[in-house]
Amino acid sequence: MRLDIEQINRLGFDAWADNVIINILEDMKGNDFERMAIEAQDYEALIAKDAYHCTYIVRAYVEGEGWKAREHSIKIGGQP
């Protein structure tokens, strides 16, 4: 997924970053990993997960706005 300025302007950076992570997790479904770093041409994503939570940071340089970052944690499994 590339940095899409129109989409960022329409949805906001946080929504765009969340979409990046959703796409990565869907692509990696079935692959067991605890930590992952992805360096794309336009952004960087760091993901850490266990059976119950996924924490991620997406960083990108947005022209006219400078560096943006989204750090978030979501529940992905059963209890805790």
Q: Render pLDDT for 31-57 as a digit per residue (tens, 0 to 9).
A: 778 899 999 888 999 999 888 888 999
How far is residue 17's CA from residue 23's CA, in Å, rounded to a whole number?
Answer: 10
Cα separation, 9 vs 25, in Å, equals 24
Strand order in the sheet with 53-62: 35-39, 43-49, 53-62, 66-75
Class of domain 5-75: mainly beta
The yes-or-no verdict on residue 78 having pLDDT over 80 is no
Supply the pLDDT for residue 1.
62
pLDDT of 8-37, one tens digit each?
989 999 999 999 998 888 887 777 788 999
Question: Residue 63 — pLDDT band, cuts 50, 70, 90?
Answer: confident
- Grouping H, G, I as helix, E, B as strand and the rest as coil, residue 26 is helix
